[in-house]
Structure 1
Amino acid sequence: MPESEPKPRLIELVDPGAGQGWKAVLKNGKSVVVHEIPVPAVEAAGAVPRIQRLFEHRHPALSPVLAWGTDPNGLWVAVEPHEGVPLGTILSRGPLTPPAAAALGASLLSGVAALHEAGIAMGGFGAAAVRVTGNGEVRLAGHPAGAVRGAPSQSDLRADVRSSGMAICAAFGVDPAGAPAPPNIPPGLVVTMRSMASGAMGPAADRAQGALREMASALLAPDRMTAAQAELATRAGGREMPSITPFLPKTEAPAPAPAPTGTYTPPPRDETPLPAAASYEPPPRAPEPQAPSQEAIPWAPYTTTPPVAPAEPEPPPTPLVTSPPPAAPEPPGSTPPEPSPFATGAPPSWDTPAAVETPQEAPPSPAPAATEWDPVPAPMPPILRQQEAAEPAAAPAHTSSAQQTWTPVATPAWTPGGEPAATAPTVTAAPEAATSTVPPSAPARQPSVARPSDREPGERPGWLVPAIIAVVLLLLIGAGTGIYLATRPGNSTAQVTPTPTSTSKTSPKVSPKASPTAGGTGPQAVPTYAPASAAPVTSVAFCIASTHPCAGVRASEYTSCKINGPCRVMVELKFSSPQRGTVGFMLKFFDRCTGTTTDLAGNSYVPPGYTRVDLLKVVSLPTGAKSAALVAVSTSPAAAASTPLLLGSSDTC
């Protein structure tokens, strides 16, 4: 009976697995467990090739068959005494982590696919058939019993894939019926394993394995596979993976909490400046033109002409002058017609802060006049003209005519105060600082608007287009010259000049002249040695510059023969189809006086598929002839004759 080795002797009985089993030792001394599978002799004989294939080609995801054989009771196989821990025992303590479950599913489907490829189907299996070894390897056990089932059916293959899907769902802790899956498992992976468990994946185990690897590609990374194998080995040994939480100090956990809160406080601080940015609105900018107030300093020299006003210095303005620059725009309101405020206004022309206090003293005397000056800060330029005119009354007239654009209301305000000449210029000094602040702001903005100068559109230089045209013409001329040089007749000096052209030009054929009939002393007619054409030869002709020129032949290579002397012939052979065999010709020398024919050697050539071949041959003609003819006759691939080439006298012998 076929067997890998004789059946070992029984040492000790063990719990039955797939049949009856006992402990034994093989010939090589390895301890095994022998399982007997009682089947009819016919089924055992049919299972021999499949069992032998499992024995010879072991798969890492299948429990190895260490020995096998047949006996009258059926089939026996020897397996390892410890095939691993059943998956049900491991999962009784809880599901695996996603990487370990993915590794288990990939190995299990790999083993099932190997079984199906060997022509074996288990017809479904339980969690006890999935074993995990002590080093974390996943193996499928009990498969030798499926070898005796015969050729697997589609239902058996589908049952194996369904059992694999159920085992994978159990490893992940996913309910195959559709209950919510754990959140740490990708939804696509959940759908894949449920499809396998429900049978929707079909009977193809390799297809199911590919789908699982695609959906769990992140979990099957090399680093995670190593960690998964370590976890499987730990769980198979009856232990659990240690949690990392106990190793984290509990005191450090709350400490980071305040840190983030401290970091979150600055964002509100960053947000608070946003309203500050809004403070740069136009209203604040109006009082800011203190810088332009410096431009008012050049106006002070004009007010220096009436420095008589400082003769009335009052104590309040003097300490105010010493103060640093408060807001300068407010002094315009401090312009009462009384002489005392005018005297105080002279110092503020240099330092605007002094004018800030003057409005406080001024309101009791002329409150309405101050109100008129606030809206009318423009009379400053006319006042300068008044200083030049030295008349206070004339000044208002000029102001009204020149500065009507500002406000004509300013003229009546100046008329009552025009009596003191010295006081009028001092009053002008105060508005100067205020009014000067407004005009300089406008010129400061005007240059900013005028900055973008008109840009002329960039144009390409005028010489660019002619240069491009010249380059294109040079390229065209060079290309034309190259084409002409490449297509002009060649200057090859080889004796054999094949020309591969499929459209050869038909050269004019020289019709043989009628020779005088033989009789008396006249030359005889040239006999016909072969027809003018014979397929595939269409024509044979001598290349003669005057009567039959040949393309690509130099002038020094044309046919040139003299009677009783050397002769150089260039014979042109044309064919109806490309020739790849030997083509050649021979020469017939006919003495027209004696009527004798002499054969002269020709030339031959093997073309690579040409329809026209030019062959050169130099021969020596027989001597003693007075009138002769030379005929070229093709020798292969067919015999065809050329038009006779007449030599010597054509009338007499």
Structure 2
Amino acid sequence: MPESEPKPRLIELVAPGAGQGWKAVLKSGKPAVVHEIPMPPAEAAASVPRMQRLFEHRHPALSPVLAWGIEHNGLWVAVEPNEGTPLGSILARGPLTPPAAAALGAAVLSGVAALHEAGIAMGGFGATAVRVTSNGDVRLAGHPAAAVRGAPSQSDLRADVRSSGMAVCAAFGVDPAGAPAPANIPPGLVVTMRSMASGAMGPSADRAQGALREMAAALLAPDRQMAAQSELATRAGGREVPAITPFLPGGTVAPPAASSQAPAVTAPQESAPAPAPSPFIAPQQRDETPVRVPASYDAPDRPLQTYPAMPAITSPPAAPAPPAPTAPPQAETQPSPPPVPTWSDEPYQPPAASVTTPPAPAPVEPAAEPAPEPEAPPPSAFASPPAAPSWTTSAPEPAATPAEPGAPAQPPAQPTWTPMEQPVWKPGEAVPPEPLGTGVAAAAIPPPLMEPPPAQAPVRPPSAPARRPIPRPKSGGGPPSERRPWLIPVAIAAVIVILLGIAGVIILANRGSGPVVGVRTSPSASAKPTTSPKGSPSTSPTGGGLRPVPNYGPASSAPVTRVQICTTDSPCSIPGSADESKTVCSLSSCRLEAAIYFSTSQKSVLVSYTVKFFDRCTGQTTDLPGAKSTTPASGYIVSVPSDHLTVRIPGGVKSGALVVVSQTPGVAASAPLLLGADSC
């Protein structure tokens, strides 16, 4: 009996069914599950080639066949004990993400294509046949039982593709019947998977796999394969994919064990609006960064508050906190930008009412009522501000004690505000009050306004040197010129155009034509020049170096009596018809008509001639193609092979001549037809 190895000893029955499953240990010591498939011996013998292909050529998308063999009552197949989790169990908890679903569909179609290539078709399969291993690999199971069947039919192949399409639709969560698909799936991919599920894709698994990979190319990108396989492995283990944990910067949330330290960490954050729940911790840090921005803009905000002369009296509360002079003004300026926060400085406005009358006389008059109280008892002038109800006497009370010893030094300065500003502002803020004087309180803040500009000044110098190496006119070595940069290209273009024009004029002057065929040079002195109809002499009276036209053949040769070029000056007489004179020739173009006269009527005879062009200036002869024809059976005494032969004369010729030379039935030459000027 053919087999890959002897059948192992069966240990324990796993589950009954169409094929009995038994636990066993293979010869290699690997555990396996042996399925016994009862069948007639003839069918078992016919399935041997297919089982051998499955055993030898394993595919990553097919559950491997570890061993197989034929028995007298059927076939046995050994497979892995755990082939993976069925797809139905995985999708019972919901569809997969698009990358994982695309990877699963590509693997299923790859396994089906491998089975079809091996000549095996499952004839359709369910969700339990698609298994996902703990490593995230997708495999088809149950195919060894399909190998027992005969050659697959087209309906079996189509059923496999349809089952693959149903598995892909289920993985994506798409209804194969046409219900609206999820918005995160491309429409082309939805159409492809529905075509497979409906059978419209056909029986070719390779075609279906190619269409799926084309439509899901973005989902099957290499950077998404690792995440897709990880998700499949997690779902195969019965676990859901964990939700994405938001990023929480280290140190912002204390561990539960260190609850005692939590208040110490969060205490400094109470100054900023720090919400309790952790998801809003990231916005807290964003609120901390803007705190630095107003620090650089505190100086512009303070003068807006000091226009009502409040800074002159806000110095006493700032005096008890000299170690951190910058921090208290920042804390005070934050609530003070709106006009209402002047409640913090109202106790000091009564003395400033006399000074700040121009900007706001209305608000100063009610504030002037408490002013007479500090004027009557000078020592208690500093004690009265802390006693104001707006401050609640929390911070001003300690400031009143140092004010009492300083009172005896101020009695002579009782009138107006001058005595109060001199002793108070000099120790606290020595710079602002001295240049401002005692009368103007609003001018005390412009010096702080000048501090931000110096900080911005050093930022500009780096940009200035970057522009220094820009002068380009000095590249020529001399002083900068005012020449436009486009003049040189324009001049070059003009020169090129002029040169092209000169070349064109030369070419047109030469009156160029087509290629020259059959050029040969004849001696300058030829024998027996013939006379032309024009009667031009062999040598020009004006000189010019004209050469005589050579003799290219006899004037007659039986049965040819003569050859004539038919021109208007010398027409060809045709017996029984009108004269022919269609020759129109010049050095630029030429249409030639020649007649060949015979001594006797020529019947069914080939008549042909060639054309000789002679350059009278250079003495060069050019052979040009002629014409040929056959006389009719009735016979011709005169033959005109062509009445419109186009002759291409060589270019660059100033004076020339055309001669027609008959070839058959006899060789004879015509008189030359002179063309061009009479001088070179």
Q: Whose radius of gyration is greater, 1 or 2? A: 1
Which category describes the TM-score, using the shorter chain as reference length? Answer: 0.3 to 0.5
TM-score of the superposed pair, with normalisation by structure 2: 0.39
TM-score of the superposed pair, with normalisation by structure 1: 0.41
